[in-house]
Chains A and B, each alone.
Chain A
Amino acid sequence: MAKEAADPPTTTSSNAQAKPGLPSGNLVVKCTKCKEILIVREWEKNLKVCTRCNYHFKLTAYERIELLVDPDSFVELDIDITSVDPLHFVSRTKDEVQAYADKLDEESKKVGLNEAVVIGHATIEQLPLSLAIMDFRFIGGSMGSATGEKITRAIELGLEKRMPVLIVSASGGARMQEGLYSLMQMAKTSAALAKLGEAKIPFFSLLTDPTTGGVTASFAMLGDVILAEPGALVCFTGPRVIEQFMHVKPPEVNSEFVLQHGMIDAVVHRRDLRQTMARLMQLYSPSITKRNSQEFTQHIGESDGLRSGI
């Protein structure tokens, strides 16, 4: 179901000991897929997409936000929500013994995040929306209690302020270390989306590499519009498990595969994402705006800080 092994882009410094005066950090990066050596500056200019094979590298949540929303419009919420260790889970193998609580500390120090998702609100072309952006670096973007809580809060924010919700998925699935708590986040987030749906507020789901397991089988597949970046692994069961079960090597179960089978609406190149989102916001927002103004007339006279705050 979930896959934990992260495959960070292999970066190699052309000059191990950078000379003073030269920019520090890596100058080239190797494409995870086609192994092409890419110049970092060009690769970044190309939004971390391989210029040769079009491989879309994984982005951090903040890189993703910068890419998608109006400059300086993002306001992060609930940054201090963290995972805890509800089961006192200890990983015991013959090689090592590691408490989940320690792993959490380690991970959050390593990647500088409290959780595998960043939430908040922002605007795209001046239209407000609520956001939840997953970050694969934090325990493979796996969904624990805190992840589910933050995603649910992002959905509830959309509901409360009547603005569209966008969730960008990047996840190996459920977080084993939180056992059934983790599984139940699927129900929690889906239930929140059902309420959002009843309120007739649009939900956009963007699938990025990888979107698998419990995340795919809950909010990721519930979008009114579901988009995916090219070549992203999108599945319920990972290819490794399918192979074990079926004894045949499966074809790539990716964005193009699920598009072909009618499971998503469009595959969108990273450079077109912001514009695509802007169009969708334009197309779907009038209904909300109309509804909002109607409600505003109904509520006139009451002090309604929530709605005027948008």
Chain B
Amino acid sequence: MAYDLEFEKPLAELEKKIISLQRKGDRLKPDEYKQLQEAERELRRRTEEMYKNLTSWETVQVARHKDRPYSLDYIRLMCEDFFELHGDRSFSDDHAIVAGPAKLGVENVLLVCHQKGRDMKEKQFHNLGMPHPEGYRKAGRLMQQAEKFGFPVICLIDTPGAFPGLADEERGQSEAIAANLYLMSRLQVPIIAVVIGEGGSGGALAISVADRILMLEHSIYTVAMPEASASILWRDKGYAPQAAEAMRISAKELKALDLIDELISEPLGGAHHNYRLTADNLKATLLSKLTELHMLPVEELLEKRYQKFRKIGKYGIASESLSATY
């Protein structure tokens, strides 16, 4: 069933009715035929209405939908050829990040993407899309390669966050993330980052320091997952929905705050309702952004990227400054 989220229950009921009518095929009586048409129209209307006004917490559920397309789905649908490269050349290969050169339209690009898994085995293989330090180091290694060969870098973001394990601390999770922020801020090729599902915390930012930050309509980008924020702020994961609302994590809200550049529209009911259409939208947007960025000389590209991040932040000037105690 296509509508299977908790808040989609009314849609699911309508859909059930439609399916049972459709099963009758040629045996549909004229009044049933009319019923079917009406139900289909009604479903469309109610889905549109519901999806126009998704709450942040509902958006979180769509962004995490089990059938939502993942990076490799988009790569398959958008790219002619993708050659996956492996390993950080010092410790291991991390499957939470897939990366390598690909053909996108007429252009050769470097893809660096988080990858989640669909069934248990895949989830384990890709570690739920939560990278270890070696994943970020692989990303860093390949981005330097992209600079060397002049490939623009395209990052697809879909992670709850960097993996929070003890071994990750031992191998320098912090350093691996920080090193990428440093590298990407000065990388001499265009970089585009697109949040396709969950953009979680430093684990997402580590491959998102880009000239353009785009988000699919029903994706989220947040300083920490709502559950984590709730336990940090109130020591109770149960407040995750409140945290989601308060932190303004949906693409629409972030666009309104001017924290991202553009929203890429999704098919009605979310990306998982039509992979092809979503991938086509994404590809068209990527190609047009690449054209824009290719116009800029490297120095201007880098200065604009610097200024883009330099100006993020809202602060005030105290009316009466506190006197220094030193």
Contacts and interface: CB of A to CB of B under 8 A. Distances in A.
Interface of A: 1-4, 62, 65-66, 74, 76, 79-84, 86-87, 89-93, 108, 112-114, 145-146, 148-149, 152, 174-188, 190-195, 197-198, 213-214, 216-222, 235-237, 241-242, 245-246, 248, 250-251, 253, 257-258, 261-263
Nearest to B311: A188
Contacts of B183: 194
Contacts of B164: 236-237, 241-242, 245
Nearest to B321: A80
A218 B223 CA distance: 14
Interface residues of B, number: 63
Interface string B207-245: 011000000000001111000110011101001001100
Contact of B326 (A74, A222, A246): A74
Given A181-B313, A184-B259, A242 B185 contact: no
A233 to B, nearest CB: 11
A221 B175 contact: yes
A83 B249 CA distance: 20
A261 to B, nearest CB: 5
Contact of B221 (A87, A180, A193, A235): A180
Given A82-B318, A114-B321, A236 B234 contact: no
A62 B315 contact: no
A146 B315 contact: yes
A217 B168 CA distance: 12
Contacts of B174: 216-217, 220-221, 235-236, 263
The listed residue with most B CB atoms (<10 A of its CB), out of A217, A220, A253, is A217
Given A83-B316, A180-B223, A191-B309, A62 B326 contact: yes
Given A93-B242, A175-B223, A191-B182, 5 more contacts: A82-B316, A194-B185, A219-B178, A221-B174, A242-B164
Nearest to A192: B310
A176 B246 CA distance: 10
B317 interface: yes
Nearest to A251: B166
B178 A176 contact: no
A167 to B, nearest CB: 12
Interface string B287-326: 0000000000000000001100110111111100110111
A125 B166 CA distance: 40
Q: A-B pairs with the 5 shortest C-beta distances? A: A145-B313, A191-B185, A190-B181, A237-B164, A146-B315
A178 B248 CA distance: 9
Contacts of B168: 236-237
16 contacts: A91-B246, A93-B239, A93-B242, A149-B313, A176-B247, A179-B223, A179-B249, A180-B248, A186-B202, A190-B182, A216-B178, A221-B175, A221-B179, A237-B165, A257-B170, A261-B172
B257 interface: yes
A114 B178 contact: no
B186 interface: yes
